[in-house]
Amino acid sequence: MEGIEAIGYENATPVQEQAIPAILEGRDLIASAQTGTGKTAAFLLPVIHRIITTKHDEHIKCLVIVPTRELATQIDQQLQGMAYFCPVSSIAVYGGTDGATFSNEQKALTEGADIVVCTPGRMLAHLNMGYVQISGLSYLILDEADRMLDMGFNEDLMKIISFLPEQRQNLLFSATMPSSIRNLARQILVKPIEINIATSKPAERVKQEAYIVYDLQKTPLVQKILAARNQRSTLIFCSTKDKTKQLTRELKRLKLSVDEIHSDIEQSARERVLNLFKSRDLGILVATDILSRGIDIEDIDLVINYDVPHDAEDYIHRVGRTARAASEGEAITLVGEKDQQRFQAIETLIDKVIEKIQVPAELGEAPAYNPRQKSSKNRKFGKKKRFSPNHDRKKNA
């Protein structure tokens, strides 16, 4: 309670109201709740309470598995705050670090940290070496489970679970609830309580706009948007790491304060860039969806979706990076020809027609917005050569 008071919590969120009693009862749980609803505290607080009020052995007591290094670090930091006045130890375990960090992880996993927050690949590497004290584990938590499956971690998850004792409490949290998550839940949960927190819409304080463009117009349009707005803090989402790298190079050529975050960047560099962006020493951050969920950065003025996200719910996560903490923000989406149907699905989900802004005339003719019609492979685009240096080639993520 001292930790809760120190953090400043006053009222429970809907997911906390429903999840905490079920977890305290020892029930398995599957919860659909998006980032920003308070779900981290919804599972950490009751687990901390059960650890300090129930007799356990000295082994690892709780394993929290998450999709990204950034989310692992953030949850571990939140955990340290909540458990500051409690005799509960924790460690974040993730890849991309040096040998000394790996040795520290090995020591903690051998001696038995109470709560381990980890990414699947790194945790599996430790488990395969045979020294992880996992036999006394009582709680397994999968956070952002849909994102982990999207990233191809299903096999790693099942291998990790094969190391765990059968008698344990399982908690699964997911922003969306596709059939793949239902299948995963059937494999690992026992008579779970189900909680569904309705997908919220972007805050009313977010000004949402879109440009209907050809792919070759995207980079020059981003340059014009940035030049016109002069925002203090801009976050740009790209669908692949290759697009992230290419756009960052183009913006650096303009001498802009810009850097990038994606899976090819070493963890230490990612943390440095993220800290610079949080402190406003870096004005523009270009990133993949690594940063769309679970990363708490306040006062972002502008979010640009260089690509329409594949899942409509991900649009809400991306746009939710701005207009936080009662501030105002702006979100601009560049809608390519092949993305129009996906963008219409977003408008349906949020029950809002997003304003379409006319592409500047100097960038050439833009396509019409007709999401019911498939894009033409042989479209006419007379200005194509003008943008060839920024051609967005298809590459694997």
Tokens 């300090």: give the residue.
52
Please give the share of the chain, as a percent, with pLDDT higher than 90.
Answer: 54
At 288-344, the pLDDT tens digits run 877 766 566 767 889 999 999 887 777 887 887 664 444 578 899 999 999 999 999
How much is the average pLDDT of 152-175? 93
What is the chain's alpha carbon radius of gyration, rounded to the nearest angstrom?
Answer: 22
Tokens 């922003």: give the residue.
175
How much is the average pLDDT of 183-187? 91
Query: How much is the pLDDT for 295?
Result: 61
How much is the average pLDDT of 229-234? 80
In this structure, how many other beta carbons lie within 10 angstroms of the beta carbon of residue 129?
11
- In DSSP terms, which residues pair with 207 in a beta bridge? 330
Q: Residue ranges of the domains in the chain?
A: 2-196, 206-390
- DSSP secondary structure code for residue 320 in this structure: T
Four-residue CA torsion sign, 396, 254, 314, 321 = positive
Q: Is the pLDDT of residue 382 over 70?
A: no
379 Cβ contact partners less than 8 Å away, ≥ 6 residues apart:
214, 337, 367
Yes or no: say if 371 and 341 are a contact pair by the CB < 8 Å rule: yes
**CA pair distance 171, 154, nearest whole angstrom:** 16
Please report, as a single letter, which amino acid is at residue 313.
E
Q: Do domains 2-196 and 206-390 have the same CATH topology?
A: yes
Q: Is the pLDDT of residue 251 over 90?
A: yes
Please report, as a single letter, which amino acid is at residue 179.
S
Q: Which two tokens stand for residue 271?
A: 């943390």
- Please calculate the CA angle 73-15-68 and round it to the nearest 5 degrees: 25
Mean pLDDT of the chain: 85
**CA pair distance 259, 274, nearest whole angstrom:** 9
Q: Which two tokens stand for residue 144?
A: 């952002």
At 71-129, the pLDDT tens digits run 899 899 999 999 999 999 999 999 878 888 899 999 999 988 899 999 999 999 999 99
- If one looks up domain 206-390 in CATH, what number appears? 3.40.50.300
Identify the three-state secondary structure at position 252. helix
- Which of 223, 205, 118 shows the shortest CA–CA distance to 164? 118
At 42-72, the pLDDT tens digits run 999 999 999 999 887 778 999 999 998 888 9
For 178-228, give the DSSP string: -HHHHHHHHHH-SS-EEEEPPPPPPPTTEEEEEEE--GGGHHHHHHHHHHH
- Higher pLDDT, residue 312 or 380: 312
Confidence of residue 150 (pLDDT cuts 50, 70, 90): confident
- Which of 252, 246, 248, 249 shows the shortest CA–CA distance to 235? 248
Confidence of residue 195 (pLDDT cuts 50, 70, 90): very high
Query: How much is the pLDDT for 384?
Result: 38
**CA pair distance 31, 86, nearest whole angstrom:** 27
- If one looks up domain 2-196 in CATH, what number appears? 3.40.50.300
Number of H helices, E strands in the chain: 14, 14
In this structure, how many other beta carbons lie within 10 angstroms of the beta carbon of residue 153?
21
Q: How many residues does the chain have?
A: 397
